[in-house]
A and B are shown apart, each in its own frame.
Chain A
């Protein structure tokens, strides 16, 4: 199953998430017009989200993302771990609510 969500975050940046899951989360792709330094660390954030179960709460996603942000000293500009967690969960919820 695939799900997609997009949201404008406070400050005006757009964050989108595309998720895929079967029994577990299989793929999380985050796109948008925000800034992250270093840019390559987007895959660390996506992997942090992938380590969650799709039924985990938004807070679990946020904490996992924050953990990697701190560990890898990732700077987020125009976007927060909260924004990433929210849009990923919206993508999962959208998928759960969509007609099968």
Chain B
């Protein structure tokens, strides 16, 4: 078995979600398991499958600040994906090549991120259910689903974080973003730049090394079929209110 690695792309939220799903479908038809990396442009908020868009997201502020909003096919919480603030990855492969247990499979995939951060000299650890922490603070959130015999996990590694902007875009139960709220997040969340003054490119290189460690792999690209399918899914599902406002 050989993994296909898709190098870092810049994508809008709808295309990113649709690309993941298109890859999942092609892997279900026998394509190589795939690991890919991307950054969100425009910056975006994604919400978990079970969340209520209107309860979680300040849609007016998102519109005003030109931040896209999309519902994921995975569970978990609302995330602000700042273009300058993170690298996102996806791992998509047949369920049979991963541990059957949910926690074990999260742990295995997240160990690639732990390895990647170690390449930068940052000691992190997997914290069930779906987080990676450094010194007790979250640096990476991850979400997994399994469909049609395929395991699909995506997650983010925080490079930088604009807490005030995040609170402006997400509903946090208060109209005014207070210093106390900002401090509370800063007590719970950390970012690569808190630990190492590296460029985003260095984080990306470290993550590629972490994710490919011990694997047979080749660098590839999306097939034309995958691109076409992603374009269709972006317009037919992820851009639609019917999907994004469904809960």
Pairwise interchain contact A31-B75, C-beta atoms closer than 8 A: no
Pairwise interchain contact B143-A31, C-beta atoms closer than 8 A: no
Pairwise interchain contact B75-A77, C-beta atoms closer than 8 A: yes
* B225 contacts chain A at the CB level, 8 A cutoff: no
* B104 contacts chain A at the CB level, 8 A cutoff: no
Identify which of B73, B77, B102, B144 contacts A33 (C-beta below 8 A): B77
Tell me which residues across on chain A come within 8 A of B130, comparing CB atoms: 35, 78
Q: Which of B47-62 contact A (CB under 8 A)?
A: 48-52, 55
Pairwise interchain contact B145-A37, C-beta atoms closer than 8 A: yes
* A39 contacts chain B at the CB level, 8 A cutoff: yes
* A75 contacts chain B at the CB level, 8 A cutoff: yes
Query: How many positions in chain B have a CB within 8 Å of any CB in the partner chain?
Result: 21
Tell me which residues across on chain A come within 8 A of B50, comparing CB atoms: 30-34, 36, 39, 42
CB-based nearest B residue for A36: B75
The minimal Cβ–Cβ distance linking B236 to chain A, given in whole angstroms, is 17
- Interface residues on chain A, size class: 10 to 19
Identify which of A38, A75, A77 contacts B129 (C-beta below 8 A): A77
* B195 contacts chain A at the CB level, 8 A cutoff: no
Pairwise interchain contact B102-A31, C-beta atoms closer than 8 A: no
Pairwise interchain contact B247-A29, C-beta atoms closer than 8 A: yes
CA distance A78 to B49 in the complex (A): 14
Tell me which residues across on chain A come within 8 A of B247, comparing CB atoms: 29, 31
Tell me which residues across on chain B come within 8 A of A30, comparing CB atoms: 50
* A11 contacts chain B at the CB level, 8 A cutoff: yes
Q: Which of A12-62 contact B (CB under 8 A)?
A: 13-14, 16, 29-39, 42
Report the tally of A-B residue pairs with Cβ distances under 8 A: 56
Pairwise interchain contact B147-A31, C-beta atoms closer than 8 A: no
Identify which of B52, B76, B147 contacts A35 (C-beta below 8 A): B76
* B231 contacts chain A at the CB level, 8 A cutoff: no
Mark interface residues in B35-70 (1 if CB within 8 Å of A CB, else 0): 000000000000011111001000000000000000
Mark interface residues in A70-83 (1 if CB within 8 Å of B CB, else 0): 00000101100000
CA distance A39 to B243 in the complex (A): 14
* B137 contacts chain A at the CB level, 8 A cutoff: no
The minimal Cβ–Cβ distance linking A62 to chain B, given in whole angstroms, is 19
CB-based nearest A residue for B146: A37
The minimal Cβ–Cβ distance linking A48 to chain B, given in whole angstroms, is 16
Pairwise interchain contact B147-A33, C-beta atoms closer than 8 A: no
The minimal Cβ–Cβ distance linking B18 to chain A, given in whole angstroms, is 17
CA distance A11 to B73 in the complex (A): 22
Task: Known A-B contacts: A33-B48, A33-B76. Give 10 more (CB < 8 A).
Answer: A14-B77, A33-B50, A33-B75, A35-B74, A35-B130, A37-B145, A38-B145, A39-B145, A77-B129, A78-B75
Show 17 A/B contacts (Cβ-Cβ < 8 Å), sorted by A: A11-B129, A13-B129, A16-B55, A29-B247, A31-B51, A31-B55, A32-B50, A33-B77, A33-B78, A35-B75, A35-B145, A38-B145, A75-B102, A77-B75, A77-B129, A78-B75, A78-B130
The 8 closest A-B pairs by CB, nearest first: A35-B75, A33-B77, A31-B52, A39-B49, A78-B129, A33-B48, A77-B102, A37-B146
